[in-house]
Amino acid sequence: MYYKSTRNSSVQLSSAEAIVQGISAEGGLFVPSEIPSVSMDEIKTLGGMSYPERAAYIFSKYLTDFTEAELKYCTESAYTDKSFDSASITELSHLFDGTYVLELWHGPTCAFKDMALQILPYLLTVSLKKLNIDKKVVILVATSGDTGKAALEGFAGVEGTSVMVFYPVDGVSAMQKRQMMTQDGANVSVCALNGNFDDCQNGVKAIFTDEAVKERLSEGKMMFSSANSINWGRLAPQIIYYVSVYAELLKNGEISEGEKINIVVPTGNFGNILAAYYAKNMGVPVNRLICASNANKVLTDFINTGIYDRNREFITTISPSMDILISSNLERLLYIMSGENDELIREWFTKLSAEGRYEVTDEVKAKLKSDFAAGFCDDTATKAVIKEIYDKYSYTLDTHTAVAVKVYEDYRRETGDTTKTVIASTASPYKFSTAVIEAIEGRAEETDEFEKVEHLHKLSGYPVPASLAALKDKEIRFKDTIDREEMSDYVLRALSL
Ligand SMILES: *Cc1c(COP(=O)(O)O)cnc(C)c1O
């Protein structure tokens, strides 16, 4: 198994090289040369294993240059009950007839990003060692909230690494800001930027490709790497929980051997749902993959028409982690669906950056329709479904998962498809307390974030995640706010270069 680039099929890298590089030199994303398979017998065996064991088993099919001992070290270090407040790492609950919620937010930052960012530092440091790279790795992150905190928490204290996060000064939730400003660790730094998320992202990209900055880093025996979801080291860990959940349902007698399930994913950058597509293509019996968007419904339109068009208004919603108009990981899906046609991928993605729009071939359109269904909902419908599920089933959804539940309800009504279904739940409701309280009670008091958490605790009865409760008494460490032009100086200064 080796890795090629979606924009140059002749690239051949080991998984360790792909993880260290993050993105291919010509701008393409790394994909495995083939999708490995998992048999029903193997899935049954996985049912008897712990989550770290399941993870090491699936990883061994993708990261073929890692030894068994290396994979065991990575998975056992990342998926522990010290970092996760669930012994089984993920939790599965039955919502209503044949519909299950897979809670992926029991990690230290209360969002599903932890599933990958808790293990990425181990995969990365092992990769560096395998490749005899003796440089300190500097992880630069632009975040709209969840990725930044999850990267900080994953990399804090990891030897040989340093992590720097930039967030838009007014573009993250109160809880997300607090989580980042109080981050522990000697190798971390956090800075607010006067601007929006795009300014952060463009600023980080400009630093990545600034030859003068790179030169300075190199002189200081350092190099840049990325922790966002274009890195294969973030995607691979997400495949695991989709294989794992099938093994779990089978073990619990909820489904029979070979029975197909639907998977619903609240989608932004297309990373999480792409992982489900990989699981399906490995051999996990999946009927439809249901892609749920908020009012930024560029993916719904794409799956239904084959035309990707980002020329539209950007809408700020109560599910901010899905407020996105360019879904990077779609490139990997289209590479596979076009028969690994790197020329077509270059053509489409050049058009995307020049005109903001491209249209795929009829063949790809047909493939999209056969694997995926797609839908969207706005904030009003999101709040209504939070209230409905709370009233009917005493289950409290966060705003992102609520989008998925609403889209699934619509799908089920329109198609009459009653296939058993797993809905990916991507965040704890406590991370978005204001919107969730407003949904349930019609309004939320103007109180501070921690009083809202207490209030939501009374409503939901769910234990308050210890990591969120602890924030209240933590020292604010990072107060800097800078302008876009100051970013590269800021980075160099923070690294003492
Ligand atoms: C990042 C995120 C998403 C979107 O996931 P993608 O992999 O980008 O599609 C959805 N919900 C939450 C809470 C997130 O943090």
Task: Determine what percent of the chain is predicted with pLDDT higher than 70.
Answer: 100
DSSP state of 40: H
- 106-129 confidence digits (pLDDT tens): 999 999 999 999 999 999 999 999
How confident is residue 489, by pLDDT bands cut at 50, 70 and 90?
very high
Q: From the CB of 229, is ligand 1 less than 6 Å away?
A: yes
- Distance between Cα 424 and ligand 1 center (Å): 10
| Cα 148 to middle of ligand 1, angstroms | 12
Residue 209 has what pLDDT? 80
Binned at pLDDT 50, 70 and 90, residue 73 comes out as very high
SS3 279: helix
Q: How confident is residue 197, by pLDDT bands cut at 50, 70 and 90?
A: confident
**110 φ/ψ sector (left φ>0, alpha ψ -120 to 50, else beta):** left
Q: What one-character-per-residue DSSP string does 151-181 give? A: HHHHHTT-TTEEEEEEEETTSS-HHHHHHHH
Query: Residue 6: what pLDDT?
Result: 97
Is 198 a residue whose pLDDT tops 80? Answer: no
Contact criterion met (CB below 8 Å) for 223 and 135: yes
Cβ–ligand 1 distance for 427 under 6 Å, the answer yes
Which residue has better confidence, 171 or 76?
76
pTM here is 0.96
CATH topology of domain 91-112+233-433: Rossmann fold (3.40.50)
Which is nearest to 108 in space by CA: 45, 161, 153?
Answer: 153
Ligand 1 pocket, residue 269 CB under 6 Å:
yes
Q: Average pLDDT of 248-277?
A: 97
> Among 29, 374, 42, 473, which Cα is nearest to 236's?
29
Contact assessment for residue 462 and residue 429, using Cβ atoms and an 8 Å cutoff: yes
Tell me which DSSP letter residue 464 carries. P
* 279-318 pLDDT tens trace: 999 999 999 999 999 999 999 999 999 999 999 998 989 9
pLDDT in tens, 339-397: 999 999 999 999 998 999 999 999 999 999 999 999 999 999 999 999 999 999 999 99
178: Cβ below 6 Å to ligand 1?
A: no
- Would residue 383 show up in a list of annotated catalytic residues for this protein? no
pLDDT digits (tens, 9 = 90+) for 185-196: 999 999 999 988
Return the residue matching tokens 């409701």: 429
- Given the residues 44, 61, 82, 113, the one annotated as active site: 113
Alpha carbons 158 and 443: distance in angstroms, whole number: 42
Ligand 1 pocket: which of 141, 146, 241 to mutate (most atoms <8 Å of CB)? 146
In 365-487, beta strands by DSSP E: 372-376, 421-425, 481-482
Give the alpha-carbon dihedral of 408, 413, 419, 422, to 10 degrees: 10
Residue 94 banded pLDDT, cuts 50, 70, 90: very high
Mean pLDDT over residues 135-162, rounded? 93
Ligand 1 centroid, distance to 421 Cα (angstroms): 19
Of the candidates 75, 207, 102, 114, which has an alpha carbon nearest to the alpha carbon of residue 465? Answer: 114
How many CA atoms are closer than 13 Å to the CA of 176, on its beta-carbon side? 28
The predicted pLDDT at position 376 comes to: 98
Rounded CA separation 28/411 (Å): 33
Q: Return the pLDDT at 386.
A: 98
Does the beta carbon of 271 lie inside 6 Å of ligand 1? yes
**Which of 179, 290, 321, 398 is the pocket-test mutation for ligand 1 (most atoms within 8 Å of CB)?**
321
Name the range with the highest mean pLDDT among 173-177, 350-354, 400-404.
400-404
271-280 pLDDT per residue, tens: 999 999 999 9
